[in-house]
Structure 1
Amino acid sequence: MLSILILEDNLEQQRKIREIVNNRILINVTPRQYDAEIALATGDPNAVIAYLQAHQDKIYLAFLDIDLKTTLDGIDVAE
């Protein structure tokens, strides 16, 4: 299972990313069904880090906002 993480502090942009990802999972034109889910969508970089530490055995695709206006940004989370 591919776990998808979304780190975006703008709620409208977060909603749009979730919508795009969910539609892509549901509307799949390939012969195989996607084995993917949005595991976490948040504006809190610490929540993403905590989730990653608690679920180290998973495979991830992450959408990370670079400018979060907090002490941590998407680059920090990626590191």
Structure 2
Amino acid sequence: MEGGESSVTRVRLRDGESPEGLLRRFRKKVTQDGVLSTVKRNRFFVSKSEQKRIARRKAVRRERRRLWREERGRYR
């Protein structure tokens, strides 16, 4: 659901399916569709410059973690 795209997550009750099973399938579909992560991400306005800053920090952290794992692997 990117760029103002809107959709409704639907799950229909199957023959002989319990309400618990229906709820389980619904939760799984919501997770797969990324509905909750989208809502969390868009909860507050974040400017473009702040988004870039966050992305840079994530990239640095990812690289440090990769190097740390690489170094750690040499001594095992």
Shorter-chain TM-score range: under 0.3
- Scaled by the length of structure 1, the TM-score of the pair is 0.27
- Scaled by the length of structure 2, the TM-score of the pair is 0.28
Taking CA–CA contacts closer than 8 Å with sequence separation of 6 or more, which of the two structures ends up with the larger relative contact order?
A: 1
Of structures 1 and 2, the larger Rg is shown by: 2
More strand by share: 1
